[in-house]
């Protein structure tokens, strides 16, 4: 299983989900180029100016590690990165698990993505406002999590390496992408996990993805926010486990 994080975080967001599958699967977590602890040289302004560049990274990662029959678990924008990768290399993937996916964030005619161009400008402004505060957010502090003190250290290091310029670019790539037409080309069976209240990817947006994928299962999680892998990790893992168990049963 390959776990891909979304915009705004890094591989740490899988810390309570991925271990659940370690007994049954080879689990790989990674940081996208420009995020977390990824090598600074991995990020290329041109290559990563579209989700296709990130999809190429995923394909190269699978080839490099010799991964086959991959269960790709993509959160947020990584759901579409997985969609693109599976279209190009269907041979690599057994299942796609799409958590909080959106094929397009910006409204377009009858399509409701949930946001306007101005909203995305607002996000960039918000990133700018926190540009100066970035180091304050990541100041080395002891985390309240006393049973796992190593976590605080890890996070501080990882968050420190988030380059605000890359963050801005990734925000643009994420929120200005439109992958609605790609969905029909996905041959890999998919699981769409939708949070009950998610302002980033609403239920309508999740259902659009589900309805336009040729083979897809839709599961509503009783969780709020955009990151059930963090706020409701057990519920998330249960849903994936259940789906994979069902998929492996003979019809």
Partner 1 sequence: MTDVEGPSTAFFDALLEDDPAELYETAPCGYVSIDSDRTIIKVNQTFCTWTGRHRDDLIGKQSFLDLLPVGDRIFWETNIAPALQLQGFGRELAVEVVCTSGDTLPVLLNLSRVDGAGSGRSVVRIAVFDARERRAYERELLRARRDAEEAAATSKHLAETLQRTLLPPSLPPIDGIEMAGVYHPAGDGTIVGGDFYDVFEISDDAWGVVLGDVCGKGAAAAVDTALARFTVRASAIRTRSPRRVLSDLHDAMERSDTQGFCTAVYLRVRKRADGIRLSMAVGGHHLPLLVGPDGAVEEFGEPGALLGMLGPPRLHEVNRLLAPGETLVLFTDGVLEARRGDEFFGEDRITEILQQSIGSSTQEIATTLSDAAIDFQDGHTRDDIAVLVLRAT
Which residue lies nearer to partner 1 by CB, 42 or 127?
Answer: 127
Out of 24, 49, 145, 215, the residue judged to bind partner 1 by CB under 8 A? 145
Select from 70, 60, 64 the least CA-distant residue to 27: 70
Catalytic residue among 10, 198, 210, 216: 198
Query: For residue 18, what are its two tokens?
Result: 């991925």
Q: With binding defined as CB under 8 A, does residue 251 bind partner 1?
A: no
The verdict on whether 198 is a catalytic residue reads yes
> Which of the residues 66 through 85 are near partner 1 (CB under 8 A)?
76
Query: For residue 243, what are its two tokens?
Result: 């789906």
Q: With binding defined as CB under 8 A, does residue 128 bind partner 1?
A: yes
Which residue lies nearer to partner 1 by CB, 109 or 133?
Answer: 133
The verdict on whether 226 is a catalytic residue reads yes
How far is Cα 159 from Cα 13, in angstroms, rounded to an integer? Answer: 12
Closest approach of partner 1 to the CB of residue 116, in Å: 8
Instruction: Note the residues at the interface with partner 1 (CB under 8 A).
Output: 6-9, 12-13, 15, 76, 115-116, 118-133, 136-137, 139, 141, 143-145, 151-152, 155, 159, 175, 197-200, 224-227, 230-231
């Amino acid at each position: 299983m390959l776990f891909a994080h979304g915009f705004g975080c890094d591989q740490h967001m899988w810390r309570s989900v991925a271990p659940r599958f370690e007994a049954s699967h080879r689990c790989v977590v990674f940081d996208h180029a420009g995020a977390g602890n990824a090598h600074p040289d991995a990020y290329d302004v041109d290559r990563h100016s579209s989700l296709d560049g990130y999809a190429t990274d995923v394909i190269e990662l699978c080839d490099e590690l010799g991964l086959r029959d991959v269960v790709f678990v993509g959160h947020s924008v990584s759901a579409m990165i997985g969609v693109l990768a599976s279209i190009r290399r269907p041979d690599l993937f057994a299942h796609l698990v799409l958590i909080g996916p959106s094929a397009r964030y910006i409204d377009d005619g009858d399509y409701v993505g949930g946001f306007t161009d101005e909203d995305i400008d607002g996000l960039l402004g918000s990133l700018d406002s926190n540009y100066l505060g970035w180091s304050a957010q990541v100041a080395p502090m002891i985390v309240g999590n006393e049973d796992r003190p190593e976590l605080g250290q890890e996070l501080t290091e990882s968050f420190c390496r988030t380059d605000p310029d890359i963050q801005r670019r990734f925000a643009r790539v994420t929120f200005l992408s439109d992958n609605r037409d790609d969905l029909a080309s996905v041959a890999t069976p998919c699981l769409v996990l939708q949070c009950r209240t998610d302002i980033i990817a609403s239920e309508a947006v999740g259902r659009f993805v589900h309805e336009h994928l040729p083979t897809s299962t839709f599961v509503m999680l009783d969780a709020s926010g955009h990151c059930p892998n963090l706020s409701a990790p057990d519920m998330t893992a249960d849903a994936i486990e259940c789906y994979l168990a069902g998929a492996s049963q003979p019809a």
